[in-house]
Amino acid sequence: MLKERFRMAGAALACALAGVLALGGCSLLGDDSGGSPESGGGAPRSSASPQDIPYDVTPLIKPAKKYYGAAVPGAPISMKNIDVYTARTGKQPNLIEYYAAWGDGFDATGVRNAWAEGALTLMSWEPFDTSLADIAAGRSDAYLKEYATAVRRLNLPVVMDFADEFNGHWEKWGTHHATPAQYVAAWRHIHQTFVDVGATNVIWAWAPNIVNPVKNVRLQPYYPGDAYVDWIGLVGYFTIGQDNAFDSVFGPTRDEIRTFTKKPMLLLETAAMPGERRRADVRNLFAGVAADDDMLGFIWFDYKKRADWRLEASPLALTEFKRLAADDRFGFDVRKPS
Amino acid sequence: MTSRPEYYTPQPYDPYAEEEQQGGWFNSDGYLPRRPQGHEVRQDYDAPQGYQQVPQGYHQVPQGYDTPQDHGVAQGHPVPQGYDTPQGYHQVPQEYDTPQDYGIAQGHPVPQGYDIPEGYGYDPGAHAYQQPDGQPAYPGQTAEEEPAAPAEPGYHVPETPEVGWDMAASRRRAWVSRAVLLCVLAVQAVLSLRLANTAFQDEALYLAAGHAELQHLLHGTPLPIDYAAYFSGSPQLYPVLAAAVDDVLGLTGARLLSLAFMLGTTGLLYSFTRRLFNERAALAGAALFAVVQSTVVMGYFATYDAAAVFLLALATWIVVRTDRAPVAAVLLAVPVAVLAVGVKYAAGLYLPTIVVLALLTGWPHQGRKAVLRMLLLALGIGAVLGAGMYGTDLMDGVRQTTTNRDHGSDSTALLLQRSGEWGGLMFLTAVGGAVSYVRRSRMNESPAAQRLGNPGWRWRALLGLVLCGTALLAPAYQIHLGTVVSLFKHVGFGLLFAAPMAGVGVTRLIGAHFRYPQLGIMLWTATLCLGISQADWRFGVWPDSSKMIQVVDSHVDREGHYLASTPEVPVYYLRDKTTHRQWQGVFALEYTDKKGTYHQGDEAYRAALRDGEFDLIVLDGLTNPRVDAVVVDAVKGNPHYRLLADLPFRNSSGTGHYRIWTKTS
């Protein structure tokens, strides 16, 4: 009996030992067959939460309604001025523009703030200290990749325009400082870097100044191509001394651009000079944007800079603006575009 | 149960007569090496040279040594060849030793000097074994009393059975055996169920085809594609069944159907192995088969492999079960075997084995009539298969996918290596079992087994050859084709046939009376570990497509034309929104551009993308990396397309991305 018990115990011990040995071998085998150690034993588990899915920006590229945008100081990192603007105009802007210098970090918080209130953020990226040629040559790649990765990680839609008003001589990246080829190369390089890191949540807005003040600069050589651009963003203002018909301000530029691309347009930066005519300018602006199906909307530049573009500067125009903004075609919650 | 005899009464039979030439693990008989009994032998035995020549660590029962008959032989030899005293068994020779020590000689009821060695079960059959030649067989005939005239004893020795247990099947044994089988099946089910991933492209294809066939059968909806022309099994059989299950229970349901098939296969394997050999071999064979990669994966893989292997097992089971039945009964296997081939054409590769089994299993019971049995089965299968091919249009599919399959570029070395990794251990066990079985047929410790009419060595060799050889068919054919595709599944088909022999191998490894259970446990655990790690690896080969499907879902409609690395997957998951016809794969494209120029191959992809032909492009970078590169290059700077999503995934070989482009203009 005693021996039998010993025998049983021996057998049990042998079982346990064999198990331990075999399990030890098991992990080795797992590592062997799995390529990387982490992937050794684990089959992928199917659990795709919405956060894991890259945000699909395509419904925002050509939405049914118009963007009702604003550029106000401090926004979107602080939404206080936006709230003031909303109170003043009677409608919450759904596209908020801010300006960032090449070399700045990505303001994910601002984008989130705007998003929380149903607004898309448009970042105007301005290379003050780095030449377009250097960017194209990849000299800022470390920064660019880090930036693109941060944008991807945020996984909310962002509109980006790079080196806007490039056809103007007044910018540091303008016609006096860079060639169209350098501009296109820099743009494509930036775009490709974003694509490479998988930052598909960016809407790319190519933003020339309206051609009226720089009639001798052709736009086509500056165009990176439809593969690299989602929106055409026009920068143009209603200014005293110029005809204020919508077509007079934006028509020549629009017509020239339509010769080489059919991408939808946005008035990426617009406003009217303060004064008696502003009310009419505002009316023309709303009418012109509403009339053109390819016109996505506009962003009112509500700054006091060189001129006082703020709506509050002209109460009559503000009243008119508020009346026209009430039109249901303007503004929508970007979180629910359709 | 009979009561244990009061006196130890060694019997004159020799239960292991066939073992005289045995050696090695596979022939371990579960007994300690016995020491020759004669004094002369002992002197030889003690010759130190004989021991020192035995390599260290060689603890096996030696060749040439064993039975009492050997004693005589041993006397002729100066040193028993290879006889080894295993380390740790040194006490054995001292404990039961010479005839003088043997308690019976003194007429003691219980032999005092006799001791049961460690790990040595008390076993009358075994003890009889140590009875030296010339040793008195009965207590009354002790050495001292021998000269005296036999006096009537004052007591009566009852008639004792030669063995204390019954080797015949009993209800208890059947239930114990079934309980163990249930454990084996539970382990198999757990191993299969722990696998998880979205549908593999083959699963997606068969299920999608099944849905289309189902719609065609029920509502007359035209088929989007002529599945029969390129499927490697009939699209009207398994795919329809799986799609019907999928309709109700989804992909998990379809996979559970496969699990049921594989559990059924293991059950049938147990049953026919039990019939061929015994429960122990059947359980061991089933336990090994249940944990190899192919079984575990096929048991949670909605392709027709599980159904086909089940039908093959069923056909084999019928053939084995009808071994004693009238010859015509073997015809019951015909429809099953033909159905197996219909479900998966490659199953035909295993029909010759089943036909030969009809002969081999019938032979011991029916003699020459077994030949008739074989012929009947072969003719039956041939006739029904011929009629089936004549009556359907499946021949094209058979040619394209099975017989004239495109030759791949995978090397023989790779295929051999993979076959070895995926089935080598079990195959070697089967070969070991077959060799051991040829050398010794006895499958039961009971001395009564000795008197059973065991089949001759030729029969045993043929059975071993057929069963083990079948396991080599698929690897050999795939080496001929030069492709590793589906090899892991086909290895499993072969292992089904090798499993009975592997079961024999394990029982021989463990030895009689469970002498070396640790060896069996180690072998099984090694197979289990290999099975688990390989199955996990296998199920992680393809990327989890759930995110991809989620992204693509809102970009497809009934009109679009889509390009995908694995079109079957979105076709299956998005079957409510798109049809197979709308999806294009990355292996072949013919395209006529807007100017009417015809393109094919890579150029067709370039031209189609230049024209913006596809509304959506989904690449995984795995399925056909070369064409993926062509497509990526054609999409770069292409005004029609915008990158919609980049979805990283982790699979068995590391990481990768799904890249999805959408047409924007």
Across the interface, whether the CB atoms of B533 and A26 are under 8 A apart is answered yes
Across the interface, whether the CB atoms of A17 and B518 are under 8 A apart is answered yes
Note whether B70 and B213 are same-domain residues.
no
- Please write the tens of the pLDDT for every residue from B194-228: 999 999 999 999 999 999 999 999 998 899 888 88
Q: For residue B428, count other CB atoms closer than 10 A to its CB.
A: 16
CA distance linking residue A138 with residue A143, whole number of Å: 10
What b-and-e string marks burial along B628-648, b requiring 16 or more CB atoms within 10 Å of the CB? bebbeebbeebbbbbbbbbbe
Which pLDDT does position B153 carry in this prediction? Answer: 76
Which pLDDT does position B68 carry in this prediction? Answer: 41
CA distance linking residue A72 with residue B148, whole number of Å: 129
* CA-based nearest residue to B321, from B276, B359, B352: B276
The pair of three-digit structure tokens given for residue A66, joined into one six-digit string:
């118009």
Using only C-alpha atoms, chain A has a radius of gyration, in whole angstroms, of: 28
- Residues across chain B: 665
pLDDT of A5 higher than 80: no
- Please write the tens of the pLDDT for every residue from A25-38: 333 333 333 333 33
Which pLDDT does position B607 carry in this prediction? Answer: 93
Its ipTM equals 0.85
Q: Which of B533, B555, B653 sits opposite A41 (nearest CB)?
A: B533
Q: Please tell me the least confidently modeled range out of A59-68, A176-185, A252-261, B168-177.
A: B168-177
* CA-based nearest residue to B644, from A227, A201, A61: A201
CA distance linking residue B496 with residue A304, whole number of Å: 83
Instruction: Work out the burial of residue B193: count CB atoms within 10 Å of its CB; fewer than 13 is exposed, 13-18 middle, 19 or more buried.
Output: middle
Instruction: Work out the burial of residue A332: count CB atoms within 10 Å of its CB; fewer than 13 is exposed, 13-18 middle, 19 or more buried.
Output: buried
Q: Which chain B residue is nearest to residue A36, measuring alpha carbons? A: B654
Helix (H, G, I), strand (E, B) or coil at B365: helix
Note whether B516 and B608 are same-domain residues.
no
DSSP letters, B141-207, are: G-TTTTTSPPPPPSS-PPP--S-SS--S--HHHHHHHHHHHHHHHHHHHHHHHT---S--HHHHHHH
pLDDT of A41 higher than 90: no
What b-and-e string marks burial along A205-217, b requiring 16 or more CB atoms within 10 Å of the CB? bbbbbbbbebeeb
Smallest CA–CA distance, residue B257 to chain A, in Å, is: 20
The pair of three-digit structure tokens given for residue B405, joined into one six-digit string:
């399959």
SS (H, E, C) chain A: CHHHHHHHHHHHHHHHHHHHHHHHHHHHHHHHHHCCHHHCCCCCCCCCCHHHCCCCCHHHHCCCCEEEEEECCCCCCCCHHHHHHHHHHCCCCCEEEEEEEECECCCHHHHHHHHHCCCEEEEEEECCCCCHHHHHCCCCHHHHHHHHHHHHHHCCCEEEEECCCCCCCCCCCCCCCCCHHHHHHHHHHHHHHHHHCCCCCEEEEECCECCHHHCCCCCHHHCCCHHHCCEEEEECCECCCCCCCHHHHHHHHHHHHHCCCCCCEEEEEECECCCCCHHHHHHHHHHHHHHCCCEEEEEEECCEECEECCHHHCHHHHHHHHHHHCCCCECCCCCCCC
For chain B (665 residues), the mean pLDDT of every run of 10, in chain order, is 47 45 43 44 40 42 40 40 42 41 41 43 42 41 53 80 74 91 97 95 94 92 87 91 95 96 97 93 96 96 96 97 92 96 93 95 89 95 88 68 70 92 95 94 76 79 95 92 89 96 96 92 96 95 94 93 94 93 90 89 92 94 92 94 94 92 90
CB-facing half-sphere around the CA of A114: CA atoms within 13 A: 29
Across the interface, whether the CB atoms of B525 and A30 are under 8 A apart is answered no
Note whether B427 and B309 are same-domain residues.
yes
Chain A contact set for B550 (CB, 8 A):
48, 53
Q: Which of B195, B196, B518 sits opposite A14 (nearest CB)?
A: B518
Note whether B240 and B374 are same-domain residues.
yes
Across the interface, whether the CB atoms of B539 and A56 are under 8 A apart is answered no
Across the interface, whether the CB atoms of B518 and A25 are under 8 A apart is answered no
What are the sequence ranges of the domains in chain A? Answer: 59-325
Helix (H, G, I), strand (E, B) or coil at B659: strand
Q: Which of B551, B637, B650 sits opposite A53 (nearest CB)?
A: B551
Residue B48 located in a structural domain: yes
Q: Which of B196, B536, B547 sits opposite A53 (nearest CB)?
A: B547
Helix H or strand E segment including B660: strand B654-663
pLDDT of A19 higher than 80: no
Residues A159/A202, Cβ–Cβ less than 8 Å: yes
**Integer CA distances (angstroms), A186 to A60, A222, A234, B607, in order:** 25, 11, 20, 28
Note whether B100 and B241 are same-domain residues.
no
Chain A contact set for B636 (CB, 8 A):
227
Which pLDDT does position B94 carry in this prediction? Answer: 41
Which pLDDT does position B646 carry in this prediction? Answer: 94
Note whether B268 and B242 are same-domain residues.
yes
Domain that holds residue B378: 203-444+454-539
The pair of three-digit structure tokens given for residue B587, joined into one six-digit string:
């292996």
Residue B152 located in a structural domain: no
Q: Which of B119, B539, B653 sits opposite A35 (nearest CB)?
A: B653
pLDDT of A15 higher than 90: no
Peptide bond into A76 cis (omega under 30): yes
- Please write the tens of the pLDDT for every residue from A266-285: 999 999 999 889 999 999 99
* CA-based nearest residue to B177, from B84, B90, B285, B249: B285
Chain A contact set for B528 (CB, 8 A):
22
Across the interface, whether the CB atoms of B539 and A43 are under 8 A apart is answered yes
Residue B13 has what DSSP assignment? -
Q: Which chain B residue is nearest to residue A3, measuring alpha carbons? A: B118
The pair of three-digit structure tokens given for residue B616, joined into one six-digit string:
């959506």
- Please write the tens of the pLDDT for every residue from B98-149: 444 443 434 444 444 444 444 444 444 444 444 444 444 444 444 444 556 6
Q: Which of B539, B555, B575 is the last residue in one of the domains?
A: B539
Note whether B529 and B616 are same-domain residues.
no
CA distance linking residue B244 with residue A236, whole number of Å: 62
Residue B179 located in a structural domain: no
Q: Which chain A residue is nearest to residue B551, measuring alpha carbons? A: A53
Give Cα A274 to chain centroid, integer Å: 29
Across the interface, whether the CB atoms of A198 and B665 are under 8 A apart is answered no
Note whether B556 and B502 are same-domain residues.
no
Q: CATH number for the A59-325 domain, one of 3.40.50.1370, 3.30.40.10, 3.20.20.140, 3.20.20.80?
A: 3.20.20.80
Q: Which chain A residue is nearest to residue B635, measuring alpha carbons? A: A227
Chain A contact set for B514 (CB, 8 A):
11
Rounded mean pLDDT, A319-325: 94
Which pLDDT does position A124 carry in this prediction? Answer: 95
Residue B300 located in a structural domain: yes
Note whether B535 and B569 are same-domain residues.
no
Across the interface, whether the CB atoms of B665 and A262 are under 8 A apart is answered yes
Residue B460 located in a structural domain: yes
Chain A contact set for B546 (CB, 8 A):
46-48
Rounded mean pLDDT, A320-336: 93
Q: Which residues fall within 8 angstroms of residue A104, CB to CB, at 6 or more apart?
A: none
* Chain A interface, best mutation among B510, B525, B618, B649, by max A CB count within 10 A: B525
pLDDT of A24 higher than 60: no
Smallest CA–CA distance, residue B648 to chain A, in Å, is: 9
Helix (H, G, I), strand (E, B) or coil at B477: helix
Smallest CA–CA distance, residue B88 to chain A, in Å, is: 14
**Integer CA distances (angstroms), B109 to A3, B114, B150, B161, in order:** 21, 12, 19, 18
Q: Which chain A residue is nearest to residue B196, measuring alpha carbons? A: A45
Which pLDDT does position B23 carry in this prediction? Answer: 41
Smallest CA–CA distance, residue B51 to chain A, in Å, is: 27
Q: Which of A36, A48, A198 sits opposite B550 (nearest CB)?
A: A48
Note whether B230 and B373 are same-domain residues.
yes
Q: Which chain A residue is nearest to residue B646, measuring alpha carbons? A: A198
Give Cα B16 to chain centroid, integer Å: 29
Chain A contact set for B518 (CB, 8 A):
11, 14-15, 17-18
Across the interface, whether the CB atoms of A18 and B639 are under 8 A apart is answered no
Which pLDDT does position B506 carry in this prediction? Answer: 96
Note whether B212 and B360 are same-domain residues.
yes
Q: Which of B476, B509, B539 is the last residue in one of the domains?
A: B539
Which pLDDT does position B150 carry in this prediction? Answer: 67
pLDDT of A314 higher than 70: yes
Helix H or strand E segment including B592: strand B590-592
Across the interface, whether the CB atoms of B648 and A15 are under 8 A apart is answered no
Residue B161 located in a structural domain: no
CA distance linking residue B500 with residue B276, whole number of Å: 8
* CA-based nearest residue to B113, from B122, B123, B104, B121: B104
The pair of three-digit structure tokens given for residue A277, joined into one six-digit string:
């005519």
Which pLDDT does position B483 carry in this prediction? Answer: 87
The count of domains in chain B is 3
Q: Which of B518, B539, B560 is the last residue in one of the domains?
A: B539
Q: Which chain B residue is nearest to residue A54, measuring alpha carbons? A: B645
Note whether B512 and B556 are same-domain residues.
no
Q: Which chain B residue is nearest to residue A30, measuring alpha carbons? A: B533
pTM above 0.90, yes or no: no
Helix (H, G, I), strand (E, B) or coil at B402: helix
Which pLDDT does position A241 carry in this prediction? Answer: 86
- Please write the tens of the pLDDT for every residue from A171-188: 989 989 999 999 999 999
The pair of three-digit structure tokens given for residue A90, joined into one six-digit string:
């009677």
Residue B372 located in a structural domain: yes
Residue B173 located in a structural domain: no
SS (H, E, C) B330-356: HHHHHHHHHHHHHHCHHHHHHHHHHHH
Smallest CA–CA distance, residue A318 to chain B, in Å, is: 37
Chain A contact set for B540 (CB, 8 A):
34, 39, 42-44
Specify the CATH number for the domain of residue B572: 3.40.190
Q: Which chain B residue is nearest to residue A21, measuring alpha carbons? A: B522
Smallest CA–CA distance, residue A153 to chain B, in Å, is: 12
Smallest CA–CA distance, residue A243 to chain B, in Å, is: 34
* Chain A interface, best mutation among B92, B528, B529, by max A CB count within 10 A: B529
Q: Which chain A residue is nearest to residue B641, measuring alpha carbons? A: A227
CA distance linking residue B499 with residue B116, whole number of Å: 36
Chain A contact set for B647 (CB, 8 A):
53-54
